[in-house]
């Protein structure tokens, strides 16, 4: 899929001195420790740092004045070369991190000595169920255990000291395309986990499991199923906002990432995802708001009881999830201290809500957008009818596109500056409704839009122009005045999650393979490290024996990395995946080994001999079934094999063995038998051969440009 349009859219402080004491704290994680996690900055014991998910570390040993002396203390290579999105946890001098394919690693947090590792052996075929890479975002802790959600939908309790499995529970119907990539949270002995799969016809929910034995305690569905007398009231109310036989297509609304918790109000906040399929005309013929898609929902963690909801995008049809990071803070607005919840969901508006009641306080666009002209006093967006593709049937270039104005990459909130830092993203998409769309929940994107309709022609200048419209920036957002206080424009679009610190710093990795520290008050870059690979994961800070460390998991990947060349051609850069954990400390001087050369052999495809009709069959099948991992128009994903260069391209048999028979399924390249016939698979080969020949000339032109620039 392409995450951009045919042309550029126009206008469109605690002190850190005596923290050594905290390091010695040993023992289980309990409610008291979790609720007071903010008073224990030596450790990082829950996903967002605290239940408020502010990702603010009060530590100030590393600060504006001395961050220039920050150096690599230790690093650890991961054994996967896919997207790395995890936030590590640190407890009592040990660091725990997850990697791609849901693996877990434990280290001595000061020295990097490996302590144990755990591989849940997720079957490689599971990769085809994942919309956006085989990532994992982290762990939760309770008692003496850690909790891991695996890509194939299991929740696993591991002994924190040994990595041994305490219990394991399947949390999804594994015959459907559910995946788990998010980090669990634990509240009062209940482990909470949601799931993903809204591109493949699932029905979203979050569930609570007993931390002691994995027993399921409650399950909260976010969208109505087949109407039933016994449905709870909140689902009956939701069903009123859907049309047709909506339950047959699953509905979506998956809870695949964000959660936050307010212990005083005893409310758990969850972010709910997009509809399945995206195109509302197929999902709910005749329209409707389709609750609780794209909503923030408050529920009781004890019982899973519904309390309130706020829908960011009624009747969503553009993949505008509200699963993005939720931050809780107490801030003064119009002279009143307000308990707020803040989110920058995909739809491009930054929301401030009253978290006790769900009352809408304010919303303003944090990136250029065209799907709405604003949000009215009741908090309902004022839609631009020209972008409501499902009603007109006409294609529409919509900003933002399905990757949103902000994706999963966590924000950070600095209470001293009263700023929310947003890893913002800017890319439009041309939405073309797919005529006669039929679901195939087993494989391929099930969205009701033509995934290949906007493929770019093999024209270098044009591609560079479009690539240049895809942008990334670090925004320091003032949530009271709803405006940016400062902005850092990044050369690459898909950048890392954030950490703010008491040392007046904001840390962020980038697509351009740097890891940086910025002045939290004005965005000045104070320090930078060459990470050799794109960084998308968020950093954390902790101390051991009174010394502050900053850690980040490096390793390029995720949706944009797989499903686009990311404007790479335009920016003349190249991102690759070198997956490793990087840990920094003042005065350290460790070095990474030199980065391997990134040399691609020139394109040398077999001649294109197939007829136009065959190539068209291949194009359509490629768009739906292959583009999400191997990049739209076969332009070459930045993480997975570039099919234009595959040795199998000239070998019909080898191609069938891989794509039909699943010869590489153990490595994440599932068999497409059942979805695609051998003839269609052969047509895809013909299409890729044609594309490779087209791009061959363009590549030569690009090489010339590069030489000229040197």
Minimum CB distance to ligand HEC smaller for 559 or for 659 = 659
Give me the residue label for tokens 């194939």: 152
The tokens describing 47, both together, are 């996903």
Q: Is 192 an interacting residue with respect to ligand HEC (CB under 6 A)?
A: no
The tokens describing 460, both together, are 């270098």
176: left (phi over 0), alpha (psi -120 to 50) or beta: beta
**Positive or negative: CA dihedral 488, 492, 494, 500:** negative
The tokens describing 509, both together, are 């990795």
Q: What is the largest CA-CA distance in the chain?
A: 74
Minimum CB distance to ligand HEC smaller for 64 or for 129 = 129
CB of 544 to ligand HEC, least distance (A): 37
Q: Of 210, 664, 696, 702, which lies in the binding site for ligand HEC, with binding defined by CB under 6 A? A: 664
CB of 692 to ligand HEC, least distance (A): 12
Cβ contact 47:185 at 8 Å: yes
- Rounded to an integer, what distance in angstroms lies between the CA atom of residue 288 and that of residue 513? 43
Stretch that binds ligand HEC, among 90-98, 241-249, 293-301, 622-630 (CB under 6 A): 622-630
Q: Is 660 an interacting residue with respect to ligand HEC (CB under 6 A)?
A: no
Minimum CB distance to ligand HEC smaller for 362 or for 651 = 651
Stretch that binds ligand HEC, among 374-382, 417-425, 478-486, 659-667 (CB under 6 A): 659-667
Choose, from 60, 133, 319, 455, the residue flagged as catalytic: 319
CB of 377 to ligand HEC, least distance (A): 44
Minimum CB distance to ligand HEC smaller for 89 or for 640 = 640
CB of 132 to ligand HEC, least distance (A): 10
Minimum CB distance to ligand HEC smaller for 341 or for 562 = 562
Cβ contact 281:300 at 8 Å: no
The tokens describing 98, both together, are 């997850």
Contacts of residue 38, defined as CB under 8 A and 6 or more positions apart, other chains included, come to 49, 50, 52, 54, 58
Q: Is 658 an interacting residue with respect to ligand HEC (CB under 6 A)?
A: yes
- Rounded to an integer, what distance in angstroms lies between the CA atom of residue 668 and that of residue 527? 37
Cβ contact 379:373 at 8 Å: no
Total residues contacting ligand HEC (rule CB under 6 A)? 23
Q: Is 625 an interacting residue with respect to ligand HEC (CB under 6 A)?
A: yes
519 part of the active site: no
Find, among 422, 405, 240, the residue nearest to 313 by Cα.
Answer: 405
Q: Is 208 an interacting residue with respect to ligand HEC (CB under 6 A)?
A: no
Give me the residue label for tokens 């297509």: 249
Identify residues 98-127 at the interface with ligand HEC (CB under 6 A). Answer: 127
- Rounded to an integer, what distance in angstroms lies between the CA atom of residue 706 and that of residue 659? 35
Stretch that binds ligand HEC, among 176-184, 195-203, 621-629, 696-704 (CB under 6 A): 621-629
- Rounded to an integer, what distance in angstroms lies between the CA atom of residue 683 and that of residue 615? 6
Q: Of 166, 582, 629, 692, which lies in the binding site for ligand HEC, with binding defined by CB under 6 A? A: 629
Cβ contact 237:252 at 8 Å: no
Torsion of CA 380, 223, 172, 230, to 10 degrees: 150
Q: Is 626 an interacting residue with respect to ligand HEC (CB under 6 A)?
A: yes
Stretch that binds ligand HEC, among 219-227, 537-545, 623-631, 697-705 (CB under 6 A): 623-631
Q: Is 667 an interacting residue with respect to ligand HEC (CB under 6 A)?
A: yes
Find, among 537, 672, 631, the residue nearest to 125 by Cα.
Answer: 672
Map residues 637-656 to x or -, x wherever contact with ligand HEC holds by CB under 6 A. Answer: ---xx-x--xxx------x-
Minimum CB distance to ligand HEC smaller for 50 or for 102 = 102
Residues that bind ligand HEC (CB under 6 A): 127-128, 625-626, 628-630, 640-641, 643, 646-648, 655, 658-659, 664, 667-669, 672, 676, 684
**What are the catalytic residues?**
319
């Amino acid at each position: 899929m392409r995450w951009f349009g045919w042309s550029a859219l126009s206008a469109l402080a605690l002190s850190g001195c005596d923290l050594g004491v905290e390091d010695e704290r040993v023992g289980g994680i309990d409610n008291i420790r979790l609720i007071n996690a903010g008073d224990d900055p030596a450790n990082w014991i829950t996903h967002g740092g605290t239940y408020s998910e502010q990702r603010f570390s009060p530590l100030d040993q590393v600060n504006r004045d001395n961050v220039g002396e920050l150096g690599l203390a230790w690093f650890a290579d991961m054994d996967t070369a896919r997207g790395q999105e995890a936030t590590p946890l640190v407890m009592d001098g040990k660091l725990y991190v997850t990697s791609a394919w849901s693996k877990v690693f434990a280290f001595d947090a000061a020295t990097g000595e490996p302590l144990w590792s755990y591989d849940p052996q997720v079957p490689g075929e599971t990769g085809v169920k994942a919309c956006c890479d085989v990532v994992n975002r982290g762990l939760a802790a309770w008692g003496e255990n850690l909790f891991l959600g695996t890509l194939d939908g299991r929740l696993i309790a591991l002994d924190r000291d040994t990595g041994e499995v305490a219990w394991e529970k399947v949390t999804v119907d594994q015959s459907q395309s559910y995946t788990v990539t998010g980090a669990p949270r634990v509240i009062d002995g209940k482990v909470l986990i949601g799931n993903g799969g809204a591109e493949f016809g699932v029905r979203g929910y979050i569930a609570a499991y007993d931390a002691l034995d994995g027993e399921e305690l409650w399950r909260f569905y976010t969208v109505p199923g087949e109407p039933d007398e016994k449905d709870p009231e909140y689902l009956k109310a939701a069903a009123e906002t859907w049309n047709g036989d909506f339950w047959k297509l699953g509905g979506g609304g998956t809870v695949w990432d964000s959660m936050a918790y307010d212990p005083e109000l005893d409310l758990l906040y969850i972010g709910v995802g997009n509809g399945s399929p995206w195109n509302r005309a197929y999902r709910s013929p005749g329209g409707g708001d389709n609750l609780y898609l794209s909503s923030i929902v408050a529920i009781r963690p004890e019982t899973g009881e519904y309390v309130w909801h706020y829908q960011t995008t009624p009747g969503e049809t553009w993949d505008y999830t509200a699963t993005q990071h939720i931050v809780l803070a107490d801030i003064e607005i119009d002279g009143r201290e307000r308990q707020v919840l803040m989110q920058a969901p995909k739809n491009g508006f930054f929301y401030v809500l009253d978290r006790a009641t769900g009352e809408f306080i304010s919303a303003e666009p944090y990136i250029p957008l065209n799907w709405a002209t604003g949000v009215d006093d009741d908090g309902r967006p004022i839609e631009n009818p020209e972008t409501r593709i499902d009603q007109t049937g006409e294609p529409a270039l919509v900003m933002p596109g399905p990757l949103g104005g902000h994706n999963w990459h966590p924000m950070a909130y600095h209470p001293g500056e009263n700023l929310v830092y947003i890893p913002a993203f800017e890319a439009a998409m041309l939405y073309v409704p797919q005529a006669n769309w039929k679901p195939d929940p087993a494989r391929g994107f099930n969205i009701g839009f033509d995934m290949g309709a906007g493929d770019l022609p093999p024209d270098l200048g044009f591609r560079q122009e479009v690539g240049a419209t895809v942008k990334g920036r670090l925004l320091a957002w003032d949530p009271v005045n709803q405006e940016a206080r400062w902005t850092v424009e990044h050369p690459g679009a898909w950048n890392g999650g954030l950490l703010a610190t008491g040392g007046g710093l904001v840390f962020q990795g980038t697509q351009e393979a740097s890891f940086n520290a910025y002045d939290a008050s004005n965005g000045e870059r104070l320090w930078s490290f060459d990470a050799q690979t794109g960084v998308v994961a968020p950093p954390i800070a902790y101390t051991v024996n009174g010394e502050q460390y900053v850690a980040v998991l490096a390793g390029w990947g995720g949706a944009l990395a797989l499903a686009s060349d990311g404007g790479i051609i335009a920016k003349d850069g190249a991102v690759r995946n070198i997956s490793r954990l990087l840990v920094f400390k003042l005065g350290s001087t460790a070095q990474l080994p030199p980065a391997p050369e990134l040399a691609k052999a020139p394109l040398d495809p077999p001649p294109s001999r197939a007829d136009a009709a065959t190539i068209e069959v291949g194009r359509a099948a490629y768009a739906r079934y292959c583009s999400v991992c191997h990049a739209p128009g076969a332009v070459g994903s930045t993480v997975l094999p570039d099919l234009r260069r595959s040795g199998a391209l000239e070998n019909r048999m080898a191609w069938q063995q891989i794509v039909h028979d699943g010869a590489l399924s153990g490595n994440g390249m599932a068999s497409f038998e059942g979805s695609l016939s051998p003839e269609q698979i052969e047509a895809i080969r013909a299409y890729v051969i044609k594309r490779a020949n087209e791009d061959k000339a363009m590549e030569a032109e690009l090489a010339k440009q590069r030489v000229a620039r040197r």
